A and B are shown apart, each in its own frame.
Chain A
Amino acid sequence: MATNSALMGFVHRRRRGAELFLLVLALVVGIGAYAAVGLGVDGEVPTNLIGYGGWLTVLTVAAHVAVRIVAPYADPVLLPVVAALNGLGLAIIHRLDLAKDTGLASQQLTWMTLGVVLFVGTLVVLPDHRLLARFTYTSGLAAIVLLILPMLPGIGRTINGAKIWIALGPFSFQPGEIAKVLLVVTFAGYLVVHRDALALAGRRVVFIDLPRGRDLGPILMMWVVSLGILVLQRDLGSSLLFFGLFLVMLYVATERPGWLVVGGLLFFGGATVAFRIFSHVQARVDIWLDPFADPDGSGYQLVQALYGFAWGGMVGRGLGEGMPERVPYAESDFILAAIGEELGLTAVMAVLLLYGLVVERALRAALISRDGFGKLVATGLGAVFALQIFVVIGGVTRLIPLTGLTTPFLSYGGSSLVANWVIIAILLRISDQARRPLPDLTETEDEDEQATQIVKVVPS
């Protein structure tokens, strides 16, 4: 009789020491960049470097200790990667603070603190990610409520033409960021139950298995919701993100590329109609096609960003030596332009590789996860991350038309940062479950007990 560990091929090691080592490197990036900003702009190391670096270290170590205790088998790479990104983001925001005389970096540090607290909280409250499956419909409802909130008078706020903000007292907040996580849970819960029906019924047209008409309901609903976001909230990015996310998860759950065809056609149909009807979509496309047509008006932000990237070149101007403040909203959507200008192509590549690592680690957790729900949640979170990176970075580098989305962990913004820390916590939880060695069942597998037909069920 083969043991389970032999069946699995090998047993994952915990690798918490490796994580700690990588976290030290991440801290070197974050604190080093912060010090370099001070040197570049003022010619001296920032006076609060010890307090700042100390607090960053406390947060990082706290996250590490929490992982070590409650998710000891979790992936060791994810946390250091996001710690490095968050640290770099803080330094760049601080850089822009110095140029613009704002104080966003300290606010962002507060948000990061809240993010780490929620990260630890998620890991503690959620000993098993399958608990989330219980909230399939609750979280779906919550997501829809959150998406509608910005449209309510009184608390809704329109910022830069997109109605995706709500304001409660002094806090403003982008509910879409939280809705992103909730939707992943909802889709995964729904799809894991209905995947067979969605996968098996249908007919074959040419080479593609098309789904049954009645199974098109959910995808049509999601399509309508996405278009609703596009039309009512004027938020191109979120619309694209939610629909793409749903499509990817549907495809993974059903293993049927036919869904991608149907979804793709729906997307392009919707996008074409939206392009024809809505001036703001047309405007975005026009800017994308030729940002230099109106370099001081509609194309200003993108043109300034392109100049910034070009000005940075291969190795950048050096922190504090460029003019990243010339790009409007450089601290949020356009933070990559600031990195490109002052740290160059080298750093942009490094950032892209770090993001690639996050996606790769999420999808790896999905591959090795032993349950369908976990696979779907991990795939969904990985895909939403990848899509968001592609949409926002593709937008600021003029690969695709610009849509407003934050750059995860780098951009200034509380809701985004907090939501992303929670996403990482869920991913770590799934990878912890997947990498944890199975309980050794050989002791119970003797002839007598088999005969009694008592089976110990491990949830799967």
Chain B
Amino acid sequence: MNKPIRAVSIFCMFLFLALMANVTYLQFWRSEELNKDPRNARVAAAAFSRERGLIQVGEEPIARSVPVDDQYKYLRVYPGKELYAPVTGYLQLGSQTGLERSQNEVLSGEDPRLFVNRLVDLLKGDTNQGGNVSLTLDPKAQRAAYRALRDTVGPDGEGSVVAIQPKTGRILAMVSFPSYDPNELASHSRDVREKAYDRLDANEHQPLLNRAIQTRLFPGSTFKVVTAAAAIEEGLYNQDDQVPSGATWQAPGTSGSQNVIDNEGRTGCSPAEISFAAAMENSCNTAFAKMAVKLGPKKLRETAEAFGFNSDYLEDLGPQARSVFPKEVVDTIDGEPQDPRELNDAETARSGFGQFSVQATPLQMAMVVSAIANRGGLMRPYLVDQIQTASFDVLETTEPEKLRDAISPQTAAQLTDLLVSTVDDGTASPAAIDGVKVAGKTGTAQRGVEGKAPYGWFVSFAPAENAEVAVAVMIQEAPGKEIAGGQLGGPIAKAVMEAVLNK
């Protein structure tokens, strides 16, 4: 019987060789592919268990990892809570939002710039530590913006504030209200984080939304700054010229009272011709509607696009809503979409004062004023100032980048004068700061829904001659308060500007 036993031995040997070959294939050749599989929760859990880098504002960490005694070893905590939540986002097992998402490679230590540090960690036997991300935010401005906005709109209000350093594009403040406590969402207890998420997700005020970059609304009268810029740039009017105005204006090519453009009771707009400065100071709808029609939709759109409409520019944070100045409109007749056509005069007229289908995010409006403040030069906005190793060695500092000259310096200078007089003598007076020349513009945008309060906007920069800060305030809801003119937005912008200027 020995011959078949030998045959059985050889057969068994082949069985074992097959097992060995297969497991070698699995653990040696195929392991990389399986470890890269996004469905592989092990990889996510391992990254989750590592000590992740800091997100910091100045010297202050707004997201850090603390060691805990559970299966994941490190818990992500957010000392800034609601104040910074729209910016930091939060880290969960296998998913992140905000900067935690956009800067994940650095924070988790997988970024190529951290390669040498990874190597050193490996040789020292240390666990791989992530790099730190240092932000451009100014903690004083951020706090001032959050408090002023919260106190203005009340607990059930909604709004956002963005402040930019005009010369560089550094984002000094980015606030969205209401906000949330990311600590609950980053909890290791599934129960805690799911309950927190469900509660936030069901909240009608959408606290998980970063309104600064994700909410796009009619900019209303703040868009008149763009219309004015186009008019001056095109040589249509000078800041000292008289511009056509009037108490009311039947939008061209329309009939009926609902298509009559008026000035909501601002009698300063009523003469047939007024000065450009007066038109700006009084925020005359009729004047800017007529200006827009004279310019035509193409010129208006080109100026808007020069300021950043219809494009993406913030690379450090997502997702973002793109601000829109429509290139064309598509009518629907009996449910059938028609061929696209250019904006007609009535639509151009309404677009001229930020209605119809012009839509902007708070960040976009902050960029508009910041370009004017920077003599027409539009800087790319950015949030990440530095990438550092875990031991705070600087790996990379973001260099300011000019996107383009949105308008000429001469146009910018004229606009600045117009906006300064709007603060000094006009509707934007609530933003005035003693001893500082402030440029500003209010905005009130109809929602297009009958009986609903309008949106309130306010854009400004200071000091006007050499701006250090440009601010956009957007108030979406302020229950029980009248959203009109600069009454609500102005003081908020003022508080932020004062925080930056140390006043």
What is A's interface to B at a CB cutoff of 8 Å? 99, 248, 251-253, 255, 292, 295, 303, 306-314, 322-323, 326, 340, 344-345, 348-349, 352, 355-356, 359-360, 363, 366-367, 372, 375-376, 379, 382-383, 386-387, 389-390, 393-394, 397-399
Contact = CB atoms under 8 A, between A and B. Distances in A.
Given A307-B42, A356-B16, A397-B19, A372 B1 contact: yes
A311 B31 contact: yes
B272 interface: no
Interface stretch (B32-40, B344-352, B470-478): B32-40
Given A348-B27, A367-B2, A307 B37 contact: yes
A348 B40 contact: no
Contacts of A393: 19, 23
B26 A309 contact: yes
Q: Give the interface centre of B1, B32, B39, B42 by most chain A CB atoms within 10 Å.
A: B1
Given A323-B42, A326-B42, A363-B12, A344 B5 contact: no
Nearest to B4: A252
Contact of B27 (A344, A359, A376, A387): A344
Contacts of A363: 5, 8-9, 12
Contact of B5 (A313, A326, A367): A367
B3 interface: yes
B41 interface: yes
Interface in B45-63: 45-46
B18 A399 contact: yes
Contact of A352 (B7, B20, B28, B34): B20
Q: How large is the interface on B (under 10, 10 to 19, 20 to 34, 35 or more residues)?
A: 35 or more
B19 A311 contact: no
B39 A295 contact: yes
B1 A399 contact: no
A133 to B, nearest CB: 15
Contacts of B116: none
A50 B342 CA distance: 86
B12 A383 contact: yes
Given A383-B12, A394-B19, 10 more contacts: A251-B4, A252-B1, A252-B4, A255-B4, A307-B35, A311-B40, A323-B45, A345-B27, A356-B13, A389-B19
Q: List 6 A-B pairs, minimum CB-CB distance, nearest first.
A: A310-B34, A310-B31, A345-B27, A386-B12, A399-B22, A390-B15
B30 interface: yes
B301 to A, nearest CB: 48
Contact of B6 (A292, A355, A367, A399): A367
29 contacts: A99-B71, A251-B7, A252-B8, A307-B40, A307-B41, A308-B42, A309-B31, A310-B31, A310-B34, A310-B35, A311-B31, A323-B46, A340-B27, A348-B23, A349-B20, A352-B16, A352-B23, A356-B12, A356-B13, A363-B9, A367-B5, A367-B6, A372-B1, A382-B12, A386-B12, A387-B15, A394-B19, A394-B22, A397-B26
A376 B1 contact: yes
Contacts of A313: 27-28, 31
A366 B16 contact: no
B6 A394 contact: no
SS class, residues of chain A in contact with chain B: helix
A328 B459 CA distance: 58
A452 B4 CA distance: 40
A311 B42 contact: yes
Contacts of B41: 307, 326
A310 B26 CA distance: 6
B24 interface: yes
Contacts of B13: 356
A311 B47 CA distance: 13
A89 B39 CA distance: 29
A202 to B, nearest CB: 16
A397 B31 contact: no
A279 to B, nearest CB: 26
A386 B12 CA distance: 6
B19 A390 contact: yes
Interface of B: 1-9, 12-13, 15-16, 18-20, 22-24, 26-28, 30-35, 37, 39-43, 45-46, 71
Contacts of A326: 41-42
Contacts of B40: 307, 310-311
A394 B14 CA distance: 13
A372 B18 CA distance: 30
A376 B2 CA distance: 10
A383 to B, nearest CB: 6
B34 A306 contact: yes
Nearest to B22: A399
Nearest to B16: A356
A440 B30 CA distance: 59
A241 B347 CA distance: 81
A458 B18 CA distance: 42
A183 B403 CA distance: 82
Contact of A251 (B8, B16, B27, B34): B8
Given A252-B8, A310-B34, A326-B42, A375 B1 contact: yes
A314 B12 CA distance: 25
Contacts of B19: 352, 389-390, 393-394, 397, 399
A389 B6 CA distance: 19
Nearest to B26: A309
Contacts of A348: 23, 27
B349 to A, nearest CB: 55
B22 A255 contact: no
Nearest to A359: B12
Contacts of B37: 307
B94 to A, nearest CB: 13
A218 B35 CA distance: 50
A314 B5 contact: no
Nearest to A323: B42
A394 B24 CA distance: 12
A349 B23 CA distance: 8
B4 A306 contact: no
Contacts of B32: 310
Contacts of B20: 349, 352
A409 to B, nearest CB: 16
Contact of A398 (B5, B26, B28, B31): B26
A399 B24 CA distance: 12
Contacts of A340: 23, 27
A290 B463 CA distance: 66
B322 to A, nearest CB: 35
A366 to B, nearest CB: 5
A312 B27 contact: yes
Contacts of A394: 18-19, 22
Nearest to A390: B15
Nearest to B13: A356
A459 to B, nearest CB: 17
A366 B5 contact: yes
A248 B11 CA distance: 10
A387 B8 CA distance: 11
Nearest to B37: A307
Nearest to B43: A311
Contacts of B24: 345, 349
A292 B33 CA distance: 13
A330 to B, nearest CB: 13
A252 B5 contact: yes
Nearest to A380: B8
A311 B34 CA distance: 8
Contacts of B27: 309-310, 312-314, 340, 344-345, 348
Contacts of A306: 26, 34
A366 B9 CA distance: 10
Contacts of A389: 15-16, 19
A179 to B, nearest CB: 21
Nearest to B32: A310
A258 B9 CA distance: 18
Nearest to B30: A310
Nearest to B29: A310
A314 B26 CA distance: 10
A42 to B, nearest CB: 10
Contacts of A375: 1-2, 5
